[in-house]
Structure 1
Amino acid sequence: MAHSPVQSAGNSPAKTALTAGQTYAWCACGRSATQPFCDGSHQGTGIDPVVFTAEADADVWLCLCKRTHSAPTCDGSHKKQPGNE
């Protein structure tokens, strides 16, 4: 099944405080108004959020460019986009 194009939600990651044991849904489509988390805007796109449970209370860097290879965390892919070198 084909899906809609993924949209970048930013050119840098979002520092996010996570709570141990809490479940989160990271926006994978880039359309959510509550970045970096899903607000349901992906409906009908064929793109699903990445659901995960925090293992510890921690600040993490969640991807906003949506090109990470280690979703939901940033892997530096935003640095490889034109204009960010």
Structure 2
Amino acid sequence: MEKPIVAQKSPIPVDLKSGQTYYWCTCGKSSNQPFCNGAHQGTSFEPLAFTAQKDETAYLCACKQTKNPPYCDGTHNSL
């Protein structure tokens, strides 16, 4: 099974808009972190689609190891 690339070892703050759908990068290869840019093509990875429930600044995982995707859960601290 393929493992994702650690894009960075800290979360990325993102201003989310209520009702908008976003596509979180799961492979770590995107140059548009934390979002997908299609760099996963040819791998077993697919982006994770999620819809913001409210307007907020969210901290999205960039290490790709979170147990609560797409949100950071602090796992990067143990890498």
* TM class, shorter-length: over 0.9
Structure 2 unaligned segments of length 5 or more: list them.
Answer: none
Match of 1:43 in 2: 41
Q: List per-residue Cα deviations over 1:38-72 (Å, max 9, x = no partner).
A: 00111111011110000100000000000000000
Aligned residues with identical type, % of pairs: 47
- Distance in 1 separating the partners of 2:44 and 2:19: 28
How does the TM-score come out when normalised to structure 1? 0.89
Provide runs of 4+ in structure 1 moved above 2 Å: none
Equivalent residue letter for 1:55: Q
Unaligned runs of 5+ in 1: none
1:70 counterpart (56, 68, 72):
68
- Between the aligned partners of 1:14 and 1:44, the Cα distance in structure 2 is 26
The question of 1:14 aligning with 2:12 is answered yes
Task: Give 1 or 2 for the bigger CA radius of gyration.
Answer: 1
Q: Matched residues in 1 for 2:4 and 2:52: separation?
A: 25
In structure 2, C-alpha distance between the alignment counterparts of 1:60 and 1:5, rounded to whole Å: 24
Cα shift at 1:5: 2.9
